[in-house]
Structure 1
């Protein structure tokens, strides 16, 4: 009988102790043998306002120590049938955004070689683009559910084609997204023109 990794329980080790991993799961260096892997991308060099999302993966992991492995409403017990571990953070280049985008994409290429589902802890919004590039190389164009106040389809920001507000325009231009299978939910942020969300609809995105 297979033995699946389990989050460290609060009756085995106090919640304030144990490994600082997602749900205090075991760690391993690669995605080999895993059905799903938690991955951190500690990045905020693509933001145009305040920094701080580089600390997101660490904080998410810290808060996750309070999670238990069973969903009492749905009776879902994912750790009873899936092998899951925390494989750490992508070693980004915090001084060079284009290089970092390539580093992220290559990291996910390796993860996907193992037919492992990556579960990402970010990180600013730009990380979606290199992850989608890797996913599309593996699977072809993919569907997307994007929950956000903004559409993140700017053509450029400060003259740069890759920034936290541009990933879904680049993804659409590069053919990474499956036609008719993109939904953007919660778009409500203020904009610069009445047409700001129209580009999305013109691409066949469903805007909610």
Structure 2
């Protein structure tokens, strides 16, 4: 069987940038993990499909990542990420409608990746996933830069304390920043 055409974006199972799908973390530097949740949103649901859509959109870039060289950055005029072993770890398995349980599940998945000294890159989901991801870095000093049109720092929205409007408030309260 020939491998001709394997690199085409419409061929194969859509993993992030066509990186291999595996749950094995030995020798891995970066694990892409999807967090298909939108139950923390109070408006415009559908972000649970975000990880899948991002993976499908990324298919076009996969053939341009060469393990030994990395990927060419046109703006910098050089290759980046040479020798970086990147995998697609799949998705967090969520329990629909169980918001607090899902936050714990997300933290466990990220801790699992971190325990192997692998850097997690999350594909979301609504903003509520930010808190459990950051919580997994509990003993790590973090610098956070947020690009958003609002702070995600409300204490609650109509009495709801776990939503897309307050992950950084939860982070602040849990890390005593």
How high is the TM-score relative to the length of structure 1?
A: 0.75
Deviation at 1:19, TM superposition (A): 2.5
Correspondence for 2:104: 102
Residue ranges of structure 2 left out of the alignment (5+ in a row): 66-71
**Conserved 8 A contact 1:42-1:54:** yes
Aligned match for 2:56, one of 50, 59, 62: 62
**How many residues are matched?**
166
Q: Note closer, same or farther for the CA distance 1:34–1:87 as it changes in structure 2 (3 Å cut).
A: same
Note the alpha carbon deviations across 1:61-108, whole angstroms, 9 max, x for none. 000011132223321331x31111001000011120000000000111
Over 3 Å counting, the alpha-carbon distance change for 1:92 and 1:135 in structure 2 is: same
Contact 1:136 1:142 in 2 (8 A): no
**CA distance in structure 1 between the partners assigned to 2:176 and 2:83 by the alignment:** 30
User: Taking structure 2 as the reference length, what is the TM-score of the superposition?
Assistant: 0.87
1:51 has 2:45 as partner = yes
Map 1:110-125; keep pairs closer than 5 Å.
110-125=112-127
Structure 1 alignment gaps of length 5 or more = 1-8, 178-208
Task: Tell me the residue number matched to 2:68.
Answer: none
> Does the 8 Å CA contact 1:38/1:85 hold for their aligned counterparts?
yes
Contact 1:132/1:171, CA 8 A, preserved across alignment: yes
Q: Offset of 1:133 from its aligned partner? A: 0.5
Runs in 1 of length 4+ with deviation above 6 angstroms?
none
